Chain A
Amino acid sequence: MMDCREAIELIGARLAGRLEPPQDAALDAHLAACAACRRSASGQALFDGALRRAFTDRRRRAADVAERVAARVTDASSETPRMRSGGASHADFASIAPRTADFRGASSRWRMIPAAAGLAAGFLLAVILFPPWKKTNLTDVDNGGSQSWAIRSPNGGPGAIARLTLATGPIEVRLAAEAPWQPLPTGAVLPIGGRVRTGPEACCEFTTPDGSEVRLNRGTEIVAAAARQFELAAGQVYCTVAPDPTPFEVRTVSAAVTALGTQFDVSCRPAPPEPPNTSSTAVEASAQTCVTVVEGAARLGTAGGAQTVSAGESVCVSAGGAPIKTRVDDLVEATRWVHDLLVLKGRADPELKWRVDDLLARIGRSKMEHLHERDIRALGDRCVTPLCSYVGSTGAREDPHRVARAARMACDLAQPWNIPDLIGLLDHADGEIRSLAAAGLLRLTGETLGRPPDAWRAGDGVSCSAGSANWRNWWEENKDRYPASR
């Protein structure tokens, strides 16, 4: 019988998916007999889940940092002639290495470096990469119709509030009160005072110069009042807010929502049409504002006062009425309308992966699991890679039922560019998973390579690894026949 000290170690290892079945069973036996370790296991699991959620936004920030670095490296390479020609890129990057040495406090090395011709060019490249007089900040630059974002100092931006980055249908803008509505193309800039509306079939996403994102649901109308200030006339917006000294605010007719954290959803249901001569106050009183906080917190200010809304809470208020706070158990479901936009993003989008993971986590825990599966399937082939990643992870061993559901969805939804994902599943320890993957490959390629799907169910480790190797070789020889991505 294991002691409590060993049990505590195994509780941590279980959360990381590192327990073999015998250890797993031994831990369960100990927990059944030890109330203190049971409490500890429960607390560890609770905080593991909370930490994963707390770091979701941080991981997204890390992805943003990576993309900025990748973009700047690419920019630098395009500004250096030798890199454009290829084959000499390391020389260009190596030439700015002294800056790193200088940073480490070895500035004297500068004097030791020969005045090689490449040094000057390298230094210029370093200045391009590390402009010492500027804090890195994404600010829109009006450069003659170009739709690019550029690095500029924070206070140097023009009156552009946001740029339309994604849209699932036509979006319209009105630049002045009496001006006609006109189409707003993707990539166009929304100026101060600009009013935007989505139709009944379109939703869209704007990105602000500070990196915040504002998503508009169908039937939504907003006004860009100022930097980080939007007025929601009707509809629903979902905001992911970047930190900045300037408060980020969404105002409706009955409330103002100020970001204290990172992600929140605000809906404004307009009052129903009123008969003529009804006062505007009466109209405002019947409009309702609801804010749901997904991460962090937001402050909801109304005529009656202000209150903080925390992650997982929703507060609805009508002018003159008391706010009603409710707990939202399923934030992904409550904000599922944003999925239409997420599927337009790259397959590696961390928010998409987070949402697929969250939906997966609910399968097996809820009687409504078919609804979660429906939501995952609605994401289409974008969710195949996260699903396969889950199926192949060691942590997934804890719930074979969920693994099988995930594998079935992945194999049903896979497209030709997901063939490598399915080949990866042929190495899975569970024969049912291997069989599903082989069936998916048969659907996509018309091939079995001499081993039909049913045969994968009963195979042993040696024959399976040989079969999966055959598939890998086949893919190397045939991948050019299939589209790389949609």
Chain B
Amino acid sequence: MHEVPSDADLVRQALGGRPAAYGDLARRWSPRILAACHAQTRCADAAEDLAQEALMRGMSALATLQEPGKFGAWLRGIARCVCLDWLKDRRRTEVPLSVVTGGDGEGPLPLDEGSEVVEDDEPDLARLMGEVERLPEAYRETLMLYYYGDMTYEELGDLLGLSAATVNMRLTKARSLLRAKLTKAGNRDEME
């Protein structure tokens, strides 16, 4: 299989004068940083701007990174700061699309008229994303990192400081919680 350059390799290449390495780092880490921002803010739209901001700050400060092998954790730290700053700012007046178009801006889209919470059947994806944003923080971040970025358990474990078994447990529990929220069968199983 192909030899994939590590984060440390790309950091060194970028600092060594290969500008394309910045783009490679951005492409590799954009899903993960967007996932982290989405999980922290619970706002998908804002998360895109914040992730872009965090990535730009990371790229611009790359020369200050002491250990290139810890690029991911370092960038995630920058993203957390960016999100915290956004969360502290109470003066925002952004209007979510769902409000303008008549939906419930805080919650998931309503079920179709006449329908009800279903047995174990395909969940409505918009409702599902709404429930993902309501998961407890630990489950929310793990699940978003996994599904945004197609990360392996080992990569997730390295980033979050968890064992692969804990990552597996969190993902399984998160899916169970979502199933309990969105289907009768899941709710019944979760109660048992």
**Which A residues have a C-beta under 8 Å from some C-beta of B?**
8-9, 11-13, 16, 18, 36, 39-40, 42-44, 46-48, 50-55, 58-59, 61-70, 72-74, 77, 83, 86-91, 93-94, 96-97, 99-101, 103-105, 125-126, 129-130, 135-136, 243-247, 258-261, 295-297, 299, 307-308, 310-312, 392, 420, 424, 427
Contacts and interface: CB of A to CB of B under 8 A. Distances in A.
B125 A311 contact: yes
Given A9-B165, A43-B120, A135-B49, A96 B129 contact: no
Given A43-B120, A97-B63, A260 B98 contact: yes
A47 B179 contact: yes
A421 B3 CA distance: 12
A420 B122 contact: no
Contact of B172 (A9, A58, A86, A136): A9
Interface residues of B, number: 82
A91 B94 CA distance: 37
B1 A100 contact: no
Contacts of B122: 46, 50, 312
Contacts of A66: 23, 26-27, 29-31, 55
A39 B120 contact: yes
Contact of A51 (B17, B85, B143, B165): B143
Contact of B125 (A16, A96, A246, A296): A296
A47 B147 CA distance: 12
B168 A86 contact: no
B101 to A, nearest CB: 5
Dominant SS among interface residues on chain B? helix
A427 B3 CA distance: 13
B168 A100 contact: no
A246 B125 CA distance: 22
23 contacts: A16-B171, A40-B189, A44-B175, A47-B179, A51-B132, A54-B129, A63-B27, A66-B27, A66-B31, A69-B52, A89-B19, A91-B63, A93-B60, A93-B62, A94-B64, A101-B64, A126-B60, A244-B97, A245-B94, A259-B97, A308-B112, A311-B125, A427-B1
B23 A73 contact: yes
Interface in B130-169: 132, 143-144, 147-150, 152-153, 165, 168-169
A125 B35 CA distance: 28
Contacts of B2: 420, 424
Interface string B34-64: 1100100000110011011101111111111
Nearest to B178: A47
A50 B126 CA distance: 10
Given A42-B120, A130-B53, 19 more contacts: A9-B172, A11-B172, A13-B168, A16-B152, A18-B153, A58-B34, A62-B51, A65-B48, A65-B55, A73-B22, A86-B17, A89-B19, A90-B14, A93-B60, A96-B61, A100-B64, A244-B97, A247-B97, A260-B98
Contacts of A96: 60-61
A299 B101 contact: yes
Contacts of A136: 49, 52
B191 interface: no
Interface string B1-31: 1100000000000111101001100110111
Contacts of A63: 27, 30-31
Interface in B110-130: 110, 112-113, 120, 122-126, 128-129
A16 B168 contact: yes
Nearest to A48: B175
B96 interface: yes
A420 B3 CA distance: 11
B100 A246 contact: yes
B30 A297 contact: no
A100 B120 contact: no
A317 B57 CA distance: 50
Given A66-B26, A69-B26, A130-B56, A103 B19 contact: no
B134 to A, nearest CB: 14
A188 to B, nearest CB: 27
B179 A70 contact: no
Contacts of A67: 27
A257 to B, nearest CB: 12
B101 A100 contact: no
B71 to A, nearest CB: 14
Given A65-B30, A88-B17, A296 B51 contact: no
A260 B109 contact: yes
Interface string B72-104: 000000100110010000000011111011110
A433 B67 CA distance: 40
Nearest to A246: B100
Contacts of B55: 65-66, 69
Nearest to A9: B168
Contacts of B125: 50, 53-54, 261, 295-296, 311
Contacts of B97: 243-245, 247, 259-260
Contact of A104 (B15, B49, B81, B132): B81
